[in-house]
């Protein structure tokens, strides 16, 4: 399967203050990461502010939300924030958006917004993209959709520039290949970049990541989880090349805990 050139992102949060965050942004750029991605969580600084700061202290690094949770903003407000960042970063911003996860119900309530049903939250994703396209005019802010279910994969294929495969952490390679095929079918002739988030690089899971994904390292290994990448840099690079060939995935993001550990893989594959 022909694939796009590799690029890599790092997902990090500006929770340790401005100086540390600016250092993270500069280091990500120095190590060859394509994008610095910020999560959307009421317990962290708002991603739009964090990403504006990161873009201001770098020159080529792209920045993106990973991802806006659709229940936490009205579609028009989310599009306003995204368009503003796109303009102020000289088009280095990529808007990632998804329907959110169950804990977002409390966050939405705190903001005075409805959490909504699954179809309603997915409609918010679509509406946000429509508002952003209107605000962009002749410009084009890249949109990434995190797609977990079949309806989200169909919408992402039809409307997104980048689609992150966001299914179960224990999804098999065969299942993931089917999901990728669904997205490409929905895209028709459109050129869509397929992405994947890697939760664990190496042999150990940081406790908070273990709590988030709900599985230990042994379970990930047993199920050949695609959210895990093991071995030395050469072995990791070979595995990612295999995934691009079999699945068409060329854009990978890793957690900020692995910013340095993953850098040798970037040196081998970025832009290839």
Full pLDDT tens readout for the chain, 272 residues:
557 999 999 999 998 899 999 999 999 999 999 999 999 999 999 999 999 999 999 999 999 999 999 999 999 999 999 999 999 999 999 999 999 998 899 999 999 999 999 999 999 999 999 999 999 999 999 999 999 999 999 999 999 999 999 989 999 999 999 999 999 999 998 999 999 999 999 999 989 899 889 999 999 999 999 999 999 999 999 999 999 999 999 999 999 999 999 999 999 999 99
d(CA 136, CA 130): 10
pLDDT for 178 equals 97
Supply the pLDDT for residue 208.
Answer: 87
* pTM check: above 0.75: yes
Three-state DSSP string of the chain: CCCCCCEEEEECCCCCCHHHHHHHHHHHHHCCCCEEEECCCCCCCCHHHHHHHHHHCCCCCEEEECCEEHHHCCHHHHHHHHHHHHHHCCCCEEEEEECCCCCHHHHHHHCCCCCCCHHHHHHHHHHHHHHHHHHHCCCCCCEEEEECCHHHHHHHHHHCCEEEECCCCCCCHHHHHHHHHHHHHHHCCCCCEEEEEECEECCCCCHHHHHHHCCCHHHHHHCCCCCEECCCHHHHHHHHHHHHHHHCEEEEEEEHHHCCCCHHHHHHHCCC
What integer pLDDT is reported at residue 167 of this predicted model? Answer: 87
Domain 7-269 superfamily per CATH:
Luciferase-like domain (3.20.20.30)
């Amino acid at each position: 399967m022909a694939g796009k050139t590799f690029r890599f992102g790092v997902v990090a949060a500006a929770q340790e203050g401005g100086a540390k965050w600016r250092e993270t942004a500069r280091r990500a750029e120095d190590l060859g990461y394509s994008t610095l991605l910020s999560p959307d969580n009421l317990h962290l600084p708002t991603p739009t502010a964090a990403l504006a700061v990161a873009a201001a202290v770098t020159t080529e690094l792209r920045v993106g939300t990973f991802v806006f949770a659709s229940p936490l903003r009205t579609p028009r407000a989310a599009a306003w924030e995204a368009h503003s960042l796109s303009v102020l970063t000289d088009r280095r911003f990529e808007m990632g958006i998804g329907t959110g996860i169950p804990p977002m119900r409390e966050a939405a309530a705190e903001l005075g917004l409805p959490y909504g049903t699954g179809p309603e939250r997915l409609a918010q994703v679509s509406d946000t993209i429509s508002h952003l396209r209107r605000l962009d005019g002749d410009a084009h802010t890249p949109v990434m959709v995190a797609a977990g279910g079949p309806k989200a994969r169909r919408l992402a294929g039809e409307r997104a520039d980048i689609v992150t495969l966001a299914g179960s952490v224990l999804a098999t390679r065969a299942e993931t290949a089917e999901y990728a095929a669904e997205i490409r079918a929905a895209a028709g002739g459109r050129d869509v970049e397929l992405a994947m988030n890697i939760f664990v690089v190496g042999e150990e899971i940081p406790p908070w990541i273990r709590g988030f994904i709900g599985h230990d390292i042994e379970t990930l290994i047993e199920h050949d989880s695609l959210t895990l990448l093991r071995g030395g840099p050469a072995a990791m690079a070979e595995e990612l090349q295999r995934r691009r060939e079999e699945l068409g995935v060329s854009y990978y993001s890793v957690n900020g805990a692995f910013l340095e550990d993953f850098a040798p893989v970037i040196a081998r594959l970025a832009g290839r």
